[in-house]
């Protein structure tokens, strides 16, 4: 008797594979096909079976990329062909992950699904800073928002920073406009932290104020995805952390190398898997390994 297909909408966390949930890791190994976002750590994709198909459906900000409707159709088509489909999203799928659109598409086709939460980048960022998003004396709330939301309706958010913390996603490219908008709404020069590549070994942190942070980020020449935190729980002292090492490409037995890779990540470094000659790989898996060799090593 054939098994009914099921789609798992899984959070991949902020990047460090040690922050994956046990459920996420189990489903990755079980998956027949994985549709993944652009910012997912390639090593996490290597936790799948070598014969699993990998499909990149990631969006690039301010660039023409896969439309959400196309992703929905790819999910449905994959479920019609395979028993276990994983839709792998960076961070937590319920936080700016377009979760509802994909759930509705699956429900319309009567396709069974499950949502698996992940660690969102704001949680990873404050772990780096050794502070809380909330504090009994300084912050009694936390608000997740996008940079565009602040630009469109700043009055909704500025009041929340007086006794709360604001976590701004997808705002790095417009950080100057965001800070100018906030300055127009308040006289308080709130402390700001910008965390790039949270939880990765190349993670970097810049600390400043609403009035200074945009120029600090511009002068730093730091690139990549980042999170903006604003609120009283953040201090002024500028810190610029750089943890850079050469990623390791592990050769030989795949199972042993997965265990070794987790140890390397535990040490704050990065590792990926090379081809195991004893495994049969889906072409998309071989393409992923080639991409790693060409761009990440």
Q: DSSP letter string over 194-232?
A: EEESTTSTT-EEEEEETTTHHHHHHHHT--S-EEEEEST
Residue 199: Cβ within 10 Å count:
22
Which of 178, 193, 192, 121 is CA-nearest to residue 148? 178
CB crowding 180-194: b at 16 or more within 10 Å, else e: ebbbeeeeeebbbbb
CB crowding 150-163: b at 16 or more within 10 Å, else e: beeebeebbebbee
Given 6, 59, 238, 276, the catalytic residue: 59
Q: DSSP letter string over 99-154?
A: HHHHHHHHHHTT-EEEEE----HHHHHHHHHT--S-BTTTBS-EEEEEHHHHHH-T
Which residues, 6+ apart, have CB-to-CB distance to 290 below 8 Å? none
User: Would you say how long the chain is, in residues?
Assistant: 297
Given 6, 16, 32, 37, the catalytic residue: 37
- CA distances, 24 to each of 19, 151, 270 (Å): 10, 35, 20
Active site (annotated) includes residue 189: no
Which of 117, 166, 173 is CA-nearest to residue 144? 166
Active site (annotated) includes residue 16: no
- How far is residue 156's CA from residue 163's CA, in Å, rounded to a whole number? 14
Residues with active-site annotation: 37, 59
């Amino acid at each position: 008797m054939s098994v009914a297909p099921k789609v798992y909408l899984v959070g991949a966390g902020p990047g460090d594979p040690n922050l994956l949930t046990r459920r996420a890791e189990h489903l990755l190994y079980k998956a027949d096909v994985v549709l993944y976002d652009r910012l997912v750590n390639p090593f996490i994709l290597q936790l799948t079976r070598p014969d699993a198909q990998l499909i990149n459906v990631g969006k690039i900000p301010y660039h023409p990329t896969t439309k959400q409707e196309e992703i929905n159709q790819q999910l449905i088509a994959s479920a019609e062909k395979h028993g276990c489909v994983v839709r792998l999203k960076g961070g937590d799928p319920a936080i700016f992950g377009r979760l509802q659109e994909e759930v509705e598409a699956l429900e319309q086709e009567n396709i069974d699904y499950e949502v698996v939460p992940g660690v969102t980048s704001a949680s990873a960022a404050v772990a780096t800073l050794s502070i809380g998003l909330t504090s009994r004396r300084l912050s009694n709330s936390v608000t997740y928002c996008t940079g565009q939301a602040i630009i469109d309706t700043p009055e909704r958010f500025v009041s929340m920073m007086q006794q709360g913390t604001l976590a701004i996603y997808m705002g790095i490219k417009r950080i100057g406009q965001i800070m100018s908008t906030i300055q127009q709404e308040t006289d308080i020069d709130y402390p700001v932290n910008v965390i790039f590549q949270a939880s990765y070994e190349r993670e970097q942190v810049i600390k400043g104020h609403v009035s200074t942070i945009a120029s600090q980020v511009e002068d730093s020449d730091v690139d990549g995805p980042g999170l903006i935190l604003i609120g009283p729980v953040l201090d002024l002292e500028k810190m610029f952390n750089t943890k850079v090492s050469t990623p390791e490409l592990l050769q030989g037995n795949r199972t042993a190398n997965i265990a070794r890779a987790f140890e390397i990540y535990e040490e704050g470094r990065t590792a990926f898997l090379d081809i195991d000659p004893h495994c049969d790989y889906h072409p998309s898996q071989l393409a992923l390994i080639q991409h790693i060799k060409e761009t990440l090593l």
